[in-house]
């Protein structure tokens, strides 16, 4: 599993919402997306560790 795939899905979820600085859902998705984008290497390491534990097996079928 590539971290970019998960990041792209997170971005899709974020873009499904209207930009609204008063909406906690939009703010949360925006800041999580930004943080993960900046820490993509660390996120890929986490994803790799989770993949070793079988976390994505059902997606890969």
**Domain map (residue ranges) of the chain:** 3-52
**What pLDDT shows up at residue 61?**
56
Q: What is the pLDDT of residue 60?
A: 73
Structure tokens at 51: 């993949």
Tokens 């097996």, located at residue: 57
How do the pLDDT tens digits run along the chain, 61 residues long?
A: 999 999 999 999 999 999 999 999 999 999 999 999 999 999 999 999 999 999 999 987 5
Question: Rounded distance, CA 8 to CA 26, Å?
Answer: 16
Rounded distance, CA 47 to CA 21, Å? Answer: 30
First to last CA, the chain: 12
């Amino acid at each position: 599993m590539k971290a970019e795939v998960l990041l792209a899905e997170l971005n899709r979820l974020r873009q499904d919402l209207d930009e609204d600085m008063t909406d906690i859902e939009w703010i949360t998705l925006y800041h999580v997306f930004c943080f993960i984008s900046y820490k993509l290497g660390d996120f890929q390491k986490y994803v790799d560790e989770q993949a070793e534990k079988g976390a994505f097996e059902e997606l890969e079928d």
